[in-house]
Structure formats: C-alpha cells, structure tokens
Structure 1
Amino acid sequence: MSQQSRNIYGGQAVIEGVMFAGKHVNVTAVRRKDNEIVFYEVPRTSQPWLQKLKKIPLVRGVVGILESSAKGSQHLNFSMEAYAEDHSDEEPDKPAKQEKSGWSLSMIVGVAVAGVLSFIFGKLAFTVVPAVLEGLIFGQADLNIIVHNLLEGLIKILFLLSYLYLISLTPLIKRLFQYHGAEHKVISAYEAGVELTVQNVQRFTRLHYRCGSSFIVFSVLVGVIVYSFFHWDNMWERIYIRILLLPVVLGASYEALRMTNAMRELPVLRFLGYPGLWLQKLTTKEPTDDQVEVSIASFNRMLEIDREMGQMSKTA
C-alpha cells in the first residue's frame, strides 16, 4: 500500500500507554505493573449534524477539538485508574476494579463533560492571564495595539515553555512525554509504509507536524493577528474581546495546522511548521523499546478492529 493511499491517524499519550483514534474505534494500550498490556476499546459514534459541522472551515476545528477532549479524557481516565491500582497499597484480596466496558452511560458522559470543561477552563486561563499580565506590566506604556498583542503573545509563549519545562521534571510526566514520542514514531513509521517493529519504529523522529503541540503554537501566533483587528479601551474590554474571539482563534489555528501539514513537503514553505516542531522538543521525549512496543500494540489493535468494523458496515 502506498503512503498516499493510507489513512491519516492520530493519537495521544496516556499514563503508561498510548491511545490511537481510528475511523471506527479509539483504542488505548496500557502496560500494567505485571508487564501485561491491556486494551481499552471504544467504538466511534457521531451524530450526522456533527459530521456536517466538521466539513465547515473554521467551525470544524472547534468541533474536532471539543470532541477530542471529551473522548480523550475517557482514555486518560482509564490509564490513570490502572496506574493508581498498580501503585496502591490496597490489600491483594480487594475486589478488582470494574472494567470500563461495564461503565454506565452516565459515568462515560460525566468523564467526557469533565474533559471538555477542563479544556475550556484551561484555554480561558491561558488566554486571560497573559492579557492581564501584559496590561499590568505594559499598560501605561505608549504602545500601539499591535505591540501590546505581540508582548501578550510573548508572555503566553514564556508561560507555556515554563509550565512545560517544570512539569517535565516530574518522573510521571517525563514518561508521559516518552509515550508521546512513541506515538509520533509509530505514526511516522506507518505513513512511511514500513513494518511496525520496535527496531523500525525507533529509527523515526519523535516530532510530527500534526501534533497538538503545534496547534498550541499556532493558537498563540494566530491570536496575535486576530486580536490586532479589534481595539480595546480598558482591561475588561480586552478580556471580553479575547473570550469572544476564542472560537475564531481556535478554528483559524486548526486550519493553519492543516495547511502546514499539507505543505510540509514543499522546501520553501515547510518552515511554517517549525515552531510547533520546536515545542515538541519539550512535549516529547525519546521512548524506550518497551514504550514503543506498547504504542505498536495499540496501533495494530486499532487497525485490526477498524478493518473488522469496516467490513461489518459494508455487509450490513
């Protein structure tokens, strides 16, 4: 199969594992303390009206981000519970944790809603706090709105880099970033058409153009441009404008990410994706062979179920 005919897949790192999103199913593989690799498989379902929204430029980015936050939180929660169980001091004869397949609908919806709310509040904080800080530090300076926005963007970048560096010092987050690198390596190996073995996968870079880390950088750069078209007279008006325009910034950032990925093979224009790749040097680490093995297991399981469900849908 040629690279051009292959589907485009994405994923995310979870605690001691990796999740991959297929066409019909999302699969997470997690390595337990006893070295067993366990899977969490959730079929992908979407309402027709949601699929229509995903075809509209700018709107599709916001819809996709919220949907990914909702579904990704379920897989992250699965990995966190598995990790907590493996590292707890509970008695060995305590009843085993209920499998995710036995979750009630209300529990699944609750986790999904929590994931969306966490993303929204996190993005609001990342948008509002730098604006307030810039106003407190440079508010009295005789600067035009473009310079104020550039300074605000610089504060966002410094805030982001400091945050990522500090959390990367903790052992658990460092391992999470290693699994992030393993996820990228597997996708790159698949897109290159090579057999997914640990040795083959490890030859590829841990950086990838479609990473969510690149999206974060684009949201900062696009925000500087978008906010420059709107004048504000006081701090409250400045915050209000940023919150109101947040969906526009997210949607435009998503389109910019798609564009840079499409042009990454063009010698002159591929530099547009470099800022996101530079940030990935913080959000990814070189994985071990064991971590790559988990990532391959997750990806292969996703492909297997995708094929099975695809055949079932054709014969239905």
Structure 2
Amino acid sequence: MSQENKPVYGGQAVVEGVMFGGKRHYVTAIRRKDQSIEYFRLPRKSKQALTTMKKIPFLRGIIAILEASANGSKHLNFSTERYDVDPSEDEKIDHSQSESKLAMILGVAAVGILSFLFGKFIFTLIPVFLAELTRPIFSSDLSQILIEGLFKLLLLLAYIYFISLTPLIRRVFQYHGAEHKVINAFESDLPLTVQNVQNQSRLHYRCGSSFIIFTVIVGVFVYMLPFVATEPLWLRVVNRLALIPVVLGISFEVLQLTNKFRDIPLLRYLGYPGLWLQLLTTKEPTDSQVEVAIASFNELLRLENDPNAINKTEEIV
C-alpha cells in the first residue's frame, strides 16, 4: 500500500501502556501487575455539530484539541486505575454498572479539558509577568514580546525536563517512544515484531510536540500585531488570555501544513523544533513496553478492519 493510501493513525502514551486511534475506534493496551496485557476499547464517536465545526479552518484546531484532551483523559484514567490492580481483585469490580461508568467517563473528560485549559493559562501568564519584570531593561514592545516568548520556551523545556526525572513520567515517555516506533514501523511496511519496531526512530514528525512548539512561535508573531497591546500590564494579561484560541487555531493550521506538505523544504524545516522537543518527551522503550504498543496497535487494526466490530460504549476485557 502506498503512503498516499495508507491510513493515518495517531496515539498517546498512558501509564504503563499506549493508546492508538483510528477512524472508528480507540484502543489502549496496558501491562498489568501480573505482566498480562489488558485492553480498553472505545468507538470513535463525535456529535454532528462537532464534526461540522472540525471542517472550519482555525476553529477545527480548537475543537480537535479539546476533543483529544477529553478522549485522552478517559484512556489515561483507565490506565491509572487498572495497571497496578492485583488480578485477584478483578472479581470485585462490577462492569455491569454502565450508567455510573458513563458518568465517570464524562466527568474524567471534563477534568481533562479543564486541566488543559488551566495549564494553558499558566504557561501563557507566567511569562507575561516575568517579561514585565525586565521592562526597565527591555522597554520596547518588540523586546518585551521576544523576552516573553523566550521565557515561555524556557518554562516549557524546564517543566518537561524536571517531570521526566520522576520514575512514573519517565516510563510514560518510554511508552511514548514505543508508540512512535510502532507507527514508524507500520508506515515503513515492516512486520510489527519487537526487533523491527525497536530498530525504528523514537521520533515522529506528526507528534503533538510540534504543536506545543508552534504555540510558542505563533504566539510571538500574533503578539506583534499592531492592535495587540503590551502595556499596561492588565491589558497585556487580558489580550493574552483572549488570544489563546487564536494562537491555538493558527498553530493547528501550521501543524497541518507541515504534515501535509513536508516535501516543501520550508514547511519541512518548521517541523524540526517539534522533533527536537521529542528528545525530551520520548525515551528509548524496553522490549516489554514495545510488546504492549504492538498489542495495542494490532488490536486497533483488528477493530478497524472488522465491519462487524461491536460498537459498545465501553468494553474492558
């Protein structure tokens, strides 16, 4: 199958596992305490209104991000609740309470969206106040915008670096690397064996790390617009918050362009900062972690290629 006709799959690392998504399903596989692999499957559903909005340039990026945050939270919640549960306790878990489970999933999705928005506010506002402290030295609007962008980048890199030092996040980053390796092997038409997957790069051009970097770069250019004030401080804070959707929307469109037209040198080079950031957000996985990623991806392929796949709200086996 040519690259042009090959389906595009995305993924996300979770605690002790990997989630992959296709056109019709999401699948997460995790490594349990007894070394067995457990799956969490969800059909890919979207309300008609959201589907329509995702076709509108600039708006579609915001919808896609919020939807991904909500969906990712469901799979992350599954992994954190199940990976260290002793198998002997499985019978104590009642999977028949579908209504309460659906309410829980919706609650987790809401928390995921709120967490994303809160984090975005923090990483937007702290650089503003830090840059303002340098105004006696860098007083011009342009210098303030550049200093603000620099602080935002340093804050982002420092945050990722320090959380990567914790054992739990380091393992998540290893699963992130395993996810990329599986996608790289699949897109290279290689059989998904541990050896083939391990021989692939842990970096991938379509990773969301590129989007994170783009929000920093795009933000600098948006803040340079004549009608975007840098003083007084209160007005600077207000417009930074108000422009978050604008920065997110433009960044998403830039990401789409770099992915779709990477054969164009300029657009290909724009993707490099995202690859560099992946040196922090991914780690080399173990063979055991790669096995989990392969299992998750193979299960997704099975569901995607099975027209009779059961479309349950939730299925845990």
Q: TM-score, normalised by structure 1?
A: 0.92
Letter matched to residue 124 of structure 1: F
Cα offset, 1:311, TM superposition: 8.0
Taking the aligned partners of 2:278 and 2:215, their CA distance within structure 1 comes to: 15
Q: Is the 8 A contact 2:33 2:84 kept in 1?
A: no
- SS of match in other structure, 2:305: helix
Matched, 1:4 2:4: yes
Is the 1:69–1:115 contact (alpha carbons within 8 Å) kept by the matching residues of 2? Answer: yes
RMSD of the alignment, in Å? 2.1
Shift in Å at residue 96 of structure 1? 3.2
Which of 172, 175, 186 is the equivalent residue of 1:190? 186
Paired residues of 1:3 and 1:193 also in contact (CA < 8 A):
no
Higher helix proportion (structure 1 or 2): 1
Counterpart of 2:315 in structure 1 is none
Kindly indicate whether the alpha-carbon contact (under 8 Å) linking 1:181 and 1:287 is maintained by their aligned counterparts in 2. Answer: yes
Structure 2 CA distance, aligned partners of 1:98 and 1:77? 17
The yes-or-no answer on 1:273 pairing with 2:290 is no
Alpha-carbon separation, structure 1, partners of 2:202 and 2:33: 25
Structure 2 CA distance for aligned equivalents of residues 273 and 190 of structure 1: 21
Question: Could you say which residue in structure 2 is the equivalent of 1:130?
Answer: 127
- Structure 2 residue matching 1:85: 3-state secondary structure: coil
Deviation at 1:291, TM superposition (A): 0.8
Shift of 1:30: 0.2
CA shift at 1:256, angstroms? 1.0
Q: Tell me, what secondary structure is at the counterpart of 1:28?
A: strand
Tell me which stretches of 4 or more aligned residues in structure 1 moved more than 6 Å.
310-313
Q: How many matched pairs?
A: 308
Q: Structure 1: which 5+ runs fail to align?
A: none
Identity of aligned residues (%): 55
1:155 equivalent among 136, 151, 156: 151
Superposed counterparts of 1:46-61, under 5 Å: 46-61=46-61
- 1:1-316 correspondence to structure 2 within 5 Å: 1-86=1-86, 96-99=92-95, 102=98, 103-136=100-133, 138-229=134-225, 230-267=228-265, 269-309=267-307
Tell me how far apart the structure 2 counterparts of residues 197 and 101 of structure 1 sit (CA, whole Å). Answer: 38
**8 Å Cα contact 2:178/2:289 also seen in 1:** yes
Letter in 2 for 1:277: L
* Segment drifting more, 274-283 vs 100-109: 100-109
Deviation at 1:134, TM superposition (A): 1.0
Pairwise CA distance, 1:100: 9.2
